[in-house]
Amino acid sequence: MAGRTYRTEAVVLRSFRFGEADRVLHLYTLDRGRVGAVAKGIRKTKSRFGARLEPLSHVDVLLHQGSGELHTVTGVELIRSHHRAREDRYRLGVGLVGAEAMLRLFTEQERNPRAFQALTRFLDLLEELPARKTRAALDALALSFQLKLLWLSGYLPHLTSCADCGATDRPLVGYSARAGGAVCPECSDGALALSPAGLGAAESLLARPLAEAGGIAMTSRSARDALAVITSAYEYYGNFRLRAVRSA
């Protein structure tokens, strides 16, 4: 085979059927950021890849870069399968929100070790997440991970003073994606109305480590407000909405 082969750690963000027996994988790799790859013959019963390339799996892969846009998987070893995250509906819902956020925010074939580390940390914590009956989209880990991804993408919502006029002595009553954060009553025209508790929750989710997200006291109203901040930032900066949020 002409071209080059390289090895990297990667997380499978999404996978879809391709042709008779293959799958196309959207990978987030440690060495090159976002990479599309084809796993040939993976849908055959005796595939040499086995079940090691399921969505949310953390793997060590050998990828061959030929002339086409898609790289080819030539070898794979599991680092962590994260099967616990897939076998429960709630955890899977949280995981798919995180994976889609990663897909939408990190689209370039460009190394970003901090984003990769946040992703693997998120998946490790997801394994331990208690299964719940509530909406996965409002889960503290899901919200915290997305706020951190926004920050790593340079779309950090500013939540501590008015993002429009800079006032520090007025209450913050809304969120304006255009201004890039929370706004005071005088700058709140067209802004999304938010509760002070919701803004406080978003601020804590952003400031505290992912591992502490579950311990942040948050009402469902606060969680909805934090989600509204994230959704509004996606719409403003990237003009997208996450499909996984609608179904979770």
> Binding residues for Zn ion, per CB under 5 A?
162, 164-165, 167, 184, 187
Give whichever of 100 and 164 is closer to Zn ion, judged by the CB atom: 164
Signed CA dihedral, 54, 58, 61, 63: sign only: positive
| Cα-based distances in Å from 133 to 15, 102, 124, 138 | 27, 25, 21, 11
Neighbours of 83 (CB within 10 A): 13
- Tell the smallest beta-carbon distance from residue 225 to Zn ion (Å): 19
Give whichever of 191 and 248 is closer to Zn ion, judged by the CB atom: 191
Residues 235 and 192: beta-carbon distance below 8 Å: no
Give whichever of 22 and 164 is closer to Zn ion, judged by the CB atom: 164
- Which ranges constitute the DSSP H helices of the chain? 83-87, 89-105, 113-127, 140-152, 196-207, 220-233, 243-247
Give whichever of 156 and 167 is closer to Zn ion, judged by the CB atom: 167
Alpha-carbon distance of 174 to 182, in angstroms, equals 6
Give whichever of 185 and 238 is closer to Zn ion, judged by the CB atom: 185
Give whichever of 87 and 186 is closer to Zn ion, judged by the CB atom: 186
β partners of residue 59: 10, 78
- Tell the smallest beta-carbon distance from residue 236 to Zn ion (Å): 18
- Tell the smallest beta-carbon distance from residue 29 to Zn ion (Å): 42
Alpha-carbon distance of 226 to 220, in angstroms, equals 10
- Tell the smallest beta-carbon distance from residue 183 to Zn ion (Å): 5
- Tell the smallest beta-carbon distance from residue 181 to Zn ion (Å): 10
Task: Give residues with Cβ within 8 angstroms of 18, minimum separation 6.
Answer: 24, 38
28 closest CA partner among 91, 92, 118 = 118
- Tell the smallest beta-carbon distance from residue 171 to Zn ion (Å): 10
